[in-house]
Chain A
């Protein structure tokens, strides 16, 4: 793995905007093609293998949490437990997730798993691929995200409830809308009949106990770019449990277990000393070098990095009310003060590609930049 500085394409902004990628820059650059990462095919094989192994471990961990009723550790609302178990036992459709990995000195380590609402899908699947077409068509990329999404939607079609597949996300966030619409694009190409309704606009029809869209069309399948911990705690949350359609919510509710950082100590307990895992606990357990993370947090908020018992980095935020976990510190590789995290995608149970975000510190937050990659 190397980081190479390069010259961005002329008019790169318009090139990415033509793809529908409008959030390339906010108050700081997000899409950054002034550099790229290179990997050997051996390194890519290693990342693929790690992703496969981690996914298998995660599935075992979900079963373990359910069998042993570990829900209080995850701060999951009591009333949702039967529903979570139903979605797991009935194998409700799930399509994707993104492992955040540290790759350093030939080692791959899981930092966390974005199993419910992973973003940067469009950047990883599309934008960096078209960058490579302009930069060097002869090279390849660890990237079959687009093909796998279409193929898996096609596969899932027969397992969905009759009716349309709705897609939903928040209003007025171009990033969420782009990711959501990209996913819908893939579903359409997979042969599904889709429809967009914003999460704020979803209605509840009390007489029939059904969710409806803005045209009062009944919702029977819905892909949501909106986290379960938010859904469950909002005023319509309990209606999911009373829904006479028993709509499929994708990702399913059992992803509440995997998208929670409490899964990290559970994984370590189940698979101690596994090569892809870092020691992680619900207490700091005497560690002198560790990262303290809220079990529920987003975009690197409320993270504390401790080295030799002293705090070396700490991020602000409003998370932490539900509790924390402690994960042994495994510092990100340092490329001239750029610290990359690999987001490795699993789509339809298989590794599907990766995107790299890098920050100027050990905490990858909402100011991190997306850097493309290629295979040498």
Chain B
């Protein structure tokens, strides 16, 4: 019942700024890979969400919910997708090879939140 140790969070709070902090993410267009941007048209910028709605959530928190996500592999950062489906499906595919036999979108249509 009693807590004996100090509570430590290594992911949640750090993730407010960035999903991966080991290495700086490459700039758009850097190197030979082509990254498809969705944020030039999709409404998910920090400013928009920071001041939108009823203004109760900070820009950083909204950025957390809508930021790109990805992983490091062999020292290279690979964008896996975006947190928001507001970005077009095409932009949300990622930058690496896309196998033709993979289909997506077969889950996730039953509700907006788990709640309860």
Contacts and interface: CB of A to CB of B under 8 A. Distances in A.
B65 A197 contact: no
Given A170-B108, A214-B81, A216-B97, A226 B58 contact: no
Nearest to B105: A200
Given A129-B7, A184-B11, A234-B110, A22 B69 contact: no
Interface string B72-105: 0100001011011110000011101111011111
Contact of A215 (B11, B78, B84, B112): B78
A188 B10 contact: yes
Contacts of A334: none
Given A20-B16, A147-B4, A197-B80, A170 B114 contact: yes
B113 A170 contact: yes
Contacts of B104: 200-204
B2 interface: yes
A166 to B, nearest CB: 11
Nearest to B98: A216
B114 A200 contact: no
B9 A185 contact: yes
B103 A196 contact: no
A341 B71 CA distance: 40
Contact of A182 (B12, B16, B54): B12
**Interface bin, chain A:** 35 or more
A236 interface: yes
B101 A234 contact: no
A233 B112 CA distance: 16
A287 interface: no
B108 A203 contact: no
A314 to B, nearest CB: 18
A344 interface: no
**Interface bin, chain B:** 35 or more
A147 B103 CA distance: 38
A175 to B, nearest CB: 6
A225 interface: yes
Given A173-B112, A236-B107, A19 B13 contact: yes
A196 B96 contact: no
Interface in A233-270: 233-237, 239
A108 B42 CA distance: 50
Contacts of A234: 106-110
Contacts of B81: 198, 201, 214
B61 A22 contact: yes
Choose among B11, B96, B97, B101 the residue with the greatest number of A CB atoms under 10 Å from its CB: B11
A170 B102 CA distance: 20
Contact of B1 (A19, A48, A300): A48
Contact of A298 (B78, B80, B93, B115): B115
Given A22-B57, A119-B115, A205-B102, A129 B3 contact: yes
Interface stretch (A68-76, A138-146, A154-162): A138-146
Interface in B6-40: 7-13, 15-16, 19
A186 to B, nearest CB: 9
Interface of B: 1-5, 7-13, 15-16, 19, 54, 56-58, 61-62, 64-66, 69, 71, 73, 78, 80-81, 83-86, 92-94, 96-99, 101-116
Interface of A: 13, 17-20, 22-23, 25-27, 41, 44, 48, 114, 117-119, 122, 126, 129-130, 140-144, 146-147, 169-179, 181-182, 184-185, 188-189, 195-207, 212-216, 225-227, 230-231, 233-237, 239, 298-300, 353, 366, 375
